[in-house]
Amino acid sequence: MTTVHIVLPNDIDDPAYLSGGNVYDRQLCRGLAAVGWPVREHPVRGGWPRPTAADRAELARTLEAMPCGALVLVDGLVASAVPDVLVPEAGRLRLVVLMHMPLGDAAERAALSAAAAVVTTSDWSRRLLVDRYGLPIARVHTAVPGVDAADLTTGEDAGSRLLCVAPVQPHKGHDVLLEALASLAELPWSCVCVGSLDRDRGFANRMRQRAGHRVRFVGPRARADLNVDYAVADLLVQPSRREAYGMVVSEALARGIPVVATAVGGLPEALGHAPDGSLPGVVVPPDDPAALAAALRRWLCEPAVRIRLRKSARMRRTTLPSWASTARIVTKALSTVGTPESAGND
């Protein structure tokens, strides 16, 4: 099997930036190696997707050093920003782009059009790229994120422990969450918000100033600490304004934790259905504090709702995809690009 060169953001293993994209990339590298691919990682420095001239130059040097015909998988956060670097290499390298979150601009269109194949992390993203950019549907593949098996979380009867896992940025909707929770002040609940406070410090500071004593912004967590947060949570709340998939939804469901999420992007896809067709959570419109508050009120005030959603979440956890299945799908996508002799086994 030919070597696959994987171009990644340099912060892939930085615990302060435990993004879904970074987790996906790391798991995919491991998964491809496990199924027999020789994997060579090429972390590239830069403030992706807003690189400096020096960042672009480093990426160009990285690609230029690869042999003709090499199979190269480029993280979309990098690829979408630098068509001027990627397009000249498209005739020499077999470029595949791994898209986590489509940006929707002309640069991204140019980069993806030059790729031999594109891998998306949700069917929603796949449809969007095909429709928006006119990409041949056969060249765009969906490999949804897998999830690690986890112990079942029993939860408290009252369901009062809420959890939100996302970097504190406007598109994650923490302002919507705080407004919804403010209207539920008479009810018993607490909320822990896990995620980086450095992506948009102004926004994060405003959110912390608005939060009362029952909402705690704890910053990023190492994996072991995040597992503890899941273990004591009753409900995951994901109020995003945009989301390509929503890996934290899968992580909650893997523990049998129901989810309240917005109907954006791939979030409904990540939520999915239990084998009996029931929803393991509630989907609400984005940017709608009243709708989010109503869903949370029902969860907190109606024991029958909590029983129903917990039952569905526990069934859903048995149908979640594994990381091994993600790697197998990406393997098929890489195989469609072909393995010319010029690629060798370098």
Domains delineated in the chain: 4-146+322-343 (3.40.50.2000), 161-319 (3.40.50.2000)
Diameter of the chain measured on Cα atoms: 69
Q: Check residue 154 and give its pLDDT.
A: 87
Structure tokens at 259: 């989810």
pLDDT in tens, the chain (346 residues): 799 999 999 988 877 667 889 999 999 999 999 999 999 999 999 989 899 999 999 999 999 999 999 999 999 999 999 999 999 999 999 999 999 999 889 999 999 999 999 999 999 999 999 999 999 999 999 999 999 999 999 889 999 999 999 999 999 999 999 999 999 999 999 999 999 999 999 999 999 999 999 999 999 998 899 999 999 999 999 999 999 999 999 999 999 999 999 999 999 999 999 999 999 999 999 999 999 999 999 999 999 999 999 999 999 999 999 999 999 999 999 999 964 333 344 4
Q: Is the pTM of this model over 0.85?
A: yes
278's CB contacts (< 8 A; 6+ apart) are: 308, 311, 312, 315
15's CB contacts (< 8 A; 6+ apart) are: 220, 222, 223
Are the beta carbons of 245 and 269 closer than 8 angstroms? yes
Structure tokens at 119: 């891998």
In whole angstroms, give the CA distance from residue 29 to residue 210: 40
* Length of the chain counted residue by residue: 346
CB atoms within 10 A of CB 179: 17
Instruction: Identify the burial level of 106 via C-beta atoms within 10 angstroms of its C-beta, where 0-12 means exposed, 13-18 middle and 19 or more buried.
Output: exposed
Written in H, E and C, the secondary structure of 57-107 is HHHHHHHHCCCCCCEEEEEHHHHCCCHHHHHHHCCCCEEEEEECCCCCCHH
Are the beta carbons of 117 and 139 closer than 8 angstroms? yes
18's CB contacts (< 8 A; 6+ apart) are: 196, 220, 221, 222, 223, 226
Summarize pLDDT for 269-288 with one digit per residue, the tens.
999 999 999 999 999 999 99
Q: Torsions phi, psi of 94, nearest 5?
A: -95, 95
